[in-house]
Chains A and B, each alone.
Chain A
């Protein structure tokens, strides 16, 4: 049985696609057969971040419409064993995502994969709703910034009321926070919300804190998920987050300007 994860945020541009690429790669690196699906119909970008943009022939919507077979649309990553990408259409719009269509594709994928990771578009409309509907687990990508935190709270509300699990009265979708673009220097100056402030407000467990890092742009320039950049703080932070997701007890890093402090000890509680 595969597990369906949605990477979601409500607000746009907070790092969902960056995180989806990193997370899927991290899971595959640890030996799990993983597929990452781009739900941002019309604004295909995951292919660029994953570096497979020149190999896209068919897409998710083609499969939903029966215009292509699933294994024709799936792109196998060239670097990593066990990693597959299902790109989205650039020409259609989000109405192409029917619940039945999405369910059919997910059912087929779940026969083969350990993890199915859904990269949600911004907003709370059809694309976002479809990407979270079938989820077992949600990773809430949030920036330490007022509008992002508020939108994350909206998305948590949607997960608790409009997901399949909510509608069918099953165990709720499990939820974890991935705080990205965190700048410990600015936090120290009192210019940015602290991790524990955001945790207190959103009241969900912390999966990881990804620091603001120039490595993210460099990685996307060359189509390499940043988790493969093991010299970067962001890459290491994603790696830790994947470990925590799989149940490992890993201390939080890169949350203070110095290497370690009271902060990381405080954070252990909420991990």
Chain B
């Protein structure tokens, strides 16, 4: 469906979407209110572990979080330098793509919601 149709047909009333978006974001915010924000720490420690085996350029680390209703996904993409390919392959399990651009190094459920985040980003 094109953007044009989207506004035209108004498949769902915007107020309904407002409510759904609020329910999801606020469930996460309420859960996070009590504890400290662990994401920066998690990211740091993850990177530290990976850095033990591969040289990583901190500017080539991309962290994405998608807070969903049933589960959340944390996606960390690390671009591995070409020279480190051999070393990286030895240190990680086989099947990892070599030095790709969008190599998903790790994915974890986050945000307190329990769910099977699996290896795929939810759409």
Residues of A within 8 A of B (CB): 145-146, 149-150, 153-154, 157, 161, 187, 189-194, 197, 200-201
Contact = CB atoms under 8 A, between A and B. Distances in A.
B123 to A, nearest CB: 23
Interface string B20-39: 01110110011001000000
B63 to A, nearest CB: 23
Contacts of B22: 146, 149-150, 201
B14 A191 contact: yes
Contacts of B19: 193, 197, 200-201
Contacts of A146: 18, 21-22
Contacts of A200: 19
A157 B79 CA distance: 40
B30 A192 contact: no
A197 B29 CA distance: 18
Contact of A150 (B10, B13, B16, B26): B26
Nearest to A157: B33
A191 B30 CA distance: 26
17 contacts: A146-B18, A146-B21, A149-B22, A150-B26, A150-B29, A153-B26, A153-B29, A153-B30, A187-B15, A189-B13, A190-B14, A190-B15, A191-B15, A194-B15, A197-B15, A197-B18, A201-B23
B112 to A, nearest CB: 15
A161 B34 CA distance: 10
Contact of B30 (A157, A187, A190, A193): A157
By Cβ-Cβ distance, the 3 closest A-B pairs, closest first, are A190-B13, A197-B19, A190-B15
Contacts of A150: 22, 25-26, 29
A192 B17 CA distance: 10
B10 to A, nearest CB: 8
B95 to A, nearest CB: 42
Given A149-B22, A157-B30, 18 more contacts: A145-B18, A146-B18, A150-B22, A150-B25, A150-B29, A153-B30, A154-B29, A157-B33, A187-B15, A189-B13, A190-B10, A190-B13, A191-B13, A191-B15, A192-B15, A193-B18, A193-B19, A197-B15
Interface in B1-59: 10, 13-16, 18-19, 21-23, 25-26, 29-30, 33
Nearest to B23: A201
Contacts of B13: 189-191
Nearest to A146: B18
A87 to B, nearest CB: 35
